Chains A and B, each alone.
Chain A
Amino acid sequence: MDFEDTPAEAAFRAQVRKWLEENAPRGREESDGDELGDRLTRDALAEARAWQAKKAKAGYARITWPKEVGGLGGTPIQQVIFNQEEAKFGLGANTPFAIGLGMCIPTLMAYGSKEAVARYVKPALYGEEIWCQLFSEPAAGSDVAGLRTRAERQGDHWVVNGQKIWTTGAQISDFGILLTRTDPNVPKHKGLTMFFLSMKSPGVEVRPIRQASGASGFNEVFFTGVKIPDSQRLGEVGQGWQVALTTLMHERLAVGGGQGGAIDVKELLQLARTLELEDGPAIRNAAVRERIADWYVRSAGLKYTTYRTMTALSKGQQPGPEASIAKVVVASKLQDLSAFAMELEGEAGALKGGDAPMHGAFQMGWLSAPGLRIAGGTDEILRNIIAERVLGLPQDVRVDKDIPFNKLPTGR
Chain B
Amino acid sequence: MNFDFSEDQKLLRDQARRFLSGKCSLKTVRKVFEGDHGYDRDLWMAIAEMGWLGTAIPESFGGLGLGHLELCVIAEELGRALAPLPFSSTVYLFAEAVLLAGSEEQKKACLPKIATGRLIGTFARAEAAGAVTPKSIRTAFRGNRLSGKKIAVADGMDADFAVVLARANDEPGERGLCLAIADLKGPGVSRRHEESIDPSRKHAEISFDNAPAEPLGRPGEGWSIANSVLDRAAVLVAFEQVGGADACLAMAKEYALTRHAFGRPIASYQAIKHKLADMYVNTELARSNAYYGAWALSTNARELPLAAAAARISATQAFDYAAKENVQTHGGIGFTWEADPHLFYKRSRELALSLGPQRSWKDRLVSQLEASNA
A contact set with B: CB distance below 8 Å? 1-5, 9, 77, 265-266, 269, 283, 286, 289-290, 292-294, 296-298, 300-305, 307-308, 310-312, 314, 322, 325, 328-329, 380, 382-384, 386-388, 390-397
Write the nearest CB–CB distance from B27 to chain A, whole angstroms.
Answer: 27
In the assembled complex, B229 has its CB within 8 A of some CB on chain A: no
Closest to A81 in B: B1
Please, which residues of chain B bring their CB within 8 A of the CB of A312? 4
Tell me the residues in window 282-312 of chain B with beta carbons closer than 8 Å to chain A beta carbons.
Answer: 284-289, 291-292, 294-295, 298, 309-310
Q: Which of A1, A290, A292, A311 contacts B298 (CB 8 A)?
A: A1
Closest to B265 in A: A394
Given contacts A297-B313, A397-B268, contact A2 B2 (CB under 8 A): yes
Docked Cα-Cα span, A322 to B287, in Å, equals 10
Given contacts A301-B284, A301-B288, contact A293 B277 (CB under 8 A): no
Docked Cα-Cα span, A132 to B49, in Å, equals 63
Write the nearest CB–CB distance from A232 to chain B, whole angstroms.
Answer: 38
Please, which residues of chain A bring their CB within 8 A of the CB of B295? 1-3
In the assembled complex, B14 has its CB within 8 A of some CB on chain A: no
Report yes or no: B362 in contact with A386, Cβ–Cβ below 8 A. Answer: no
25 A-B pairs, CB-CB below 8 angstroms? A1-B69, A2-B3, A4-B1, A289-B363, A290-B359, A293-B363, A296-B310, A297-B365, A301-B286, A305-B284, A307-B288, A311-B1, A314-B2, A329-B281, A380-B270, A382-B277, A383-B274, A386-B281, A387-B273, A387-B277, A391-B253, A393-B276, A394-B268, A397-B264, A397-B268
Interface centre among B273, B287, B359 (most CB of A within 10 A): B273
Report yes or no: A297 in contact with B363, Cβ–Cβ below 8 A. Answer: no
Q: Which of A5, A283, A310, A325 contacts B285 (CB 8 A)?
A: A325
Report yes or no: A322 in contact with B288, Cβ–Cβ below 8 A. Answer: yes
Number of residues of chain B lying within 8 A (CB) of chain A: 50
Docked Cα-Cα span, A391 to B370, in Å, equals 39
Please, which residues of chain B bring their CB within 8 A of the CB of A314? 1-2
Closest to A300 in B: B310
In the assembled complex, B132 has its CB within 8 A of some CB on chain A: no
Q: How many A-B residue pairs have CB under 8 A?
A: 163
Report yes or no: B5 in contact with A393, Cβ–Cβ below 8 A. Answer: no
Report yes or no: A3 in contact with B284, Cβ–Cβ below 8 A. Answer: no
Please, which residues of chain A bring their CB within 8 A of the CB of B280? 325, 386, 390-391
Tell me the residues in window 329-371 of chain B with beta carbons closer than 8 Å to chain A beta carbons.
Answer: 358-359, 361-363, 365-366, 369-370
Report yes or no: B4 in contact with A387, Cβ–Cβ below 8 A. Answer: no
Tell me the residues in window 2-25 of chain B with beta carbons closer than 8 Å to chain A beta carbons.
Answer: 2-6
Please, which residues of chain B bring their CB within 8 A of the CB of A310? 1, 3
In the assembled complex, B314 has its CB within 8 A of some CB on chain A: yes
Report yes or no: B291 in contact with A386, Cβ–Cβ below 8 A. Answer: no
Q: Which of A3, A297, A322, A388 contacts B273 (CB 8 A)?
A: A388
Q: Which of B253, B264, B284, B362 contacts A289 (CB 8 A)?
A: B362
Docked Cα-Cα span, A211 to B6, in Å, equals 48
Please, which residues of chain B bring their CB within 8 A of the CB of A328? 277, 281
Docked Cα-Cα span, A305 to B257, in Å, equals 28
Closest to B291 in A: A304
Write the nearest CB–CB distance from A9 to chain B, whole angstroms.
Answer: 8
Docked Cα-Cα span, A135 to B155, in Å, equals 60
In the assembled complex, B209 has its CB within 8 A of some CB on chain A: no
Interface centre among A5, A304, A311 (most CB of B within 10 A): A304
Please, which residues of chain A bring their CB within 8 A of the CB of B287? 322
Please, which residues of chain B bring their CB within 8 A of the CB of A307? 1, 3, 288, 291-292
Report yes or no: A325 in contact with B281, Cβ–Cβ below 8 A. Answer: yes
Report yes or no: A304 in contact with B292, Cβ–Cβ below 8 A. Answer: yes
Write the nearest CB–CB distance from B295 to chain A, whole angstroms.
Answer: 5
Given contacts A1-B5, A296-B369, A391-B253, contact A383 B277 (CB under 8 A): yes
Report yes or no: A298 in contact with B273, Cβ–Cβ below 8 A. Answer: no
Please, which residues of chain B bring their CB within 8 A of the CB of A265? 369
Q: Which of A294, A301, A383, A387 contacts B289 (CB 8 A)?
A: A301
Taking A296-B310, A305-B284 as given, write out 4 further A-B residue pairs in contact, using a Cβ cutoff of 8 Å, ordered by the A residue number. Answer: A1-B294, A269-B366, A294-B317, A393-B272
Write the nearest CB–CB distance from A319 to chain B, whole angstroms.
Answer: 12
Write the nearest CB–CB distance from B239 to chain A, whole angstroms.
Answer: 13
Write the nearest CB–CB distance from B259 to chain A, whole angstroms.
Answer: 12
In the assembled complex, B183 has its CB within 8 A of some CB on chain A: no
Please, which residues of chain A bring their CB within 8 A of the CB of B4? 1, 308, 311-312
In the assembled complex, B198 has its CB within 8 A of some CB on chain A: no
Docked Cα-Cα span, A270 to B292, in Å, equals 24
